[in-house]
Structure formats: structure tokens, C-alpha cells
Amino acid sequence: MTSRRGGNKRPPRGFGHWGQVVAAHAVLITYTVIALFPVLLVILNSFKSRRAIFRNPFELPNSSNFDTVGYQTVFEGANFLLYFRNSLIVTIVALLLILLVSSMAAFALAEYDFPGNALMGLYLAVGIMIPIRLGTVSILRLLVGIELVDTLMGLILVYLASGIPLAVFILTQFMATVPQALKDAARIDGASEYRIYALVLPLIRPALGTVAVFNMIPIWNDLWFPLILTGTERAKTVILGAQIFLGQYISDWNAVLASLTLAMLPVVILYIVFSRQLIRGLTSGAVK
């Protein structure tokens, strides 16, 4: 806003410029604090005794209030390592499959002018508009029929199907931005259509990263389908395992905060892995 008074031909320097820099940083820092504060509050308090959580929520964990009773409760009550393994398998396999089949479909929709193209695009996009929860009972019946209930494969298939619409929608837009000349050059060199798909894929890496991040979050965090589609220990996910300590009716705050912290860590790590990819893609200018 200061720049309005600022320079003429070049970006303004001097006092106005510095004011702008400081103001911009101040806005970002303020917002970052707002974004992280509730998360830090949960993590910090998960290491404190119940009384300390209540009396001094802002206090950092220290020798007088340090307490890991929440983590003890959580690990005694649930097989968290198994849940982590299950969540990781489900999330990663579902993500890879979403990226694979959706990018293939998106390539076909963006690249070829075949009859029914628009209709097919609409058909695949319509799933964005309906909550898949509505189909719960039918999905469950289906999985019971093919004996995939209470398995990780069952969860993967449901997430795969529900991830496809948005992924195809986003990827088609990006596929369309890949320069035609590039593909035509490859065709003249005699490349097959599959080869051209393989050529285009790396060019839309940022879009793939975006799709991965957007899909990873709901899959990892989903409570609903694990709740319905799995019953026993062996196919439980982290969020479902943590659920025993969550919810409206549970008063053990230590266990709640500990299980929340545990459920949050892996997704943050996964996010950092994918966001590197995403950011590298964004800044390399591959989208232009």
C-alpha cells in the first residue's frame, strides 16, 4: 500500500520500500503464528500432567509438569505400530494408484479429440460433487461380496475410486497446458502414444504433487471408511486407533492430546516430502 506513493519507473527503494518489506513480513509472520498456535498447543500440552494442562496451558513442558501418562495410556490401549503400518500402506498405495490411473485418463481427455470426450470428462468430474459417504452401505455390500471387507485392499479401492474425479479434473487442466509442439516433435520421431504419455508426465510434476497432497490429507485423516469397512485390529488405521481416545465422550485429556500428536506426526512428514516436490515444481516454472 505504501508503494502507491512510491516509485515511478522502477520498483521503489528507500524508506517506502523498507516499510513495504517489513509490513509484508509482519503479515506473514502473524499469519504463521495464527496457523501454528493451536497445533503447538496440542503438542506441548500432550507432554504435561492433567492439572498442568488445565491450570497453565501456555506453559512449556518442564521438570515440574512433565508427564507422559497420555502416551502410556495410548500405547497400552492400542497397537499403534501396526496402525501406522496400515495407514502408510493404504495412503501410499492409494496415492500412487490415483496418480497413475488419473494421469492416464487425464492424458486421454486432454490429448485426443474423440467422440464423447466432453461427456466422459463430465462423467468423471461428477464424482467431485457427491459425498462418497452416501454410498456407504452399497460400498460395504460390494466389498462383502468380493470378500475385501476388513482388508487394506478394500480401503485402498474406495479411496482410489473417490480420489479419481478431482485428480482427473485437475490433471486434465494441466495436461492441456503442455506445449503441443513438444508432443508433435516426439510423434514425428516415431514415438508411440504411451511413450508420449511418459514424456508428458514429468512435465506436470507440480500438478501431480498438488493432487498427491490434496488426496493424501483426506485419505490419511479419514475416520469414516476405516470405521465402517474394518472391524478387527489387523486393518485398523491410525486415526481409527486414535478414535478410542477421541470423540465427544472421552474425558482423558492426556490420552486425547497424545493420540492427536501421534496421529499428526506421520502426515506432517509425508506432507514435507511431497511439498518439496510441489514447491520445486511451482518455482521451476514448468507450469507455464
252 Ramachandran zone, left/alpha/beta (phi>0; psi -120 to 50): beta
For the CB of residue 66, give the shortest distance to other proteins in the complex, in Å: 19
Nine-digit cell string for 82: 501396526
- Which of residues 87, 172, 237, 243 is near other proteins by CB under 8 A? 243
Nine-digit cell string for 32: 504463521
Q: What is the DSSP string of 103-137?
A: HHHHHHHHH---TTHHHHHHHHHGGGGS-GGGGHH
For the CB of residue 11, give the shortest distance to other proteins in the complex, in Å: 7
Determine the Cα–Cα distance for residues 28 and 121; give it in Å rounded to an integer. 39
Between 41 and 68, CB nearer to other proteins: 41
Between residue 12 and residue 71, which ones bind other proteins under the rule CB under 8 A?
A: 12, 17, 20-21, 24-25, 27-28, 31-32, 34-36, 38-39, 41-42, 50-51, 54, 57-58
Between residue 145 and residue 204, which ones bind other proteins under the rule CB under 8 A?
A: 147-153, 156-158, 160-162, 164-165, 168, 180, 184, 192-194, 197
- Which of residues 61, 84, 223, 277 is near other proteins by CB under 8 A? 223
Between residue 100 and residue 129, which ones bind other proteins under the rule CB under 8 A?
A: 100-102, 104-105, 107-109, 111-114, 120, 123-129
Task: Kindly list the distances between the CA atom of residue 137 and the CA atoms of 99, 142, 161, 281, in Å, as whole numbers in the listed order.
Answer: 27, 9, 16, 40
- Which of residues 44, 69, 135, 203 is near other proteins by CB under 8 A? 135
- Which of residues 19, 59, 271, 277 is near other proteins by CB under 8 A? 271
Partners of 48 in the β-ladder: 66
Which residues lie closer than 8 Å to 41 by C-beta, 6 or more apart?
57
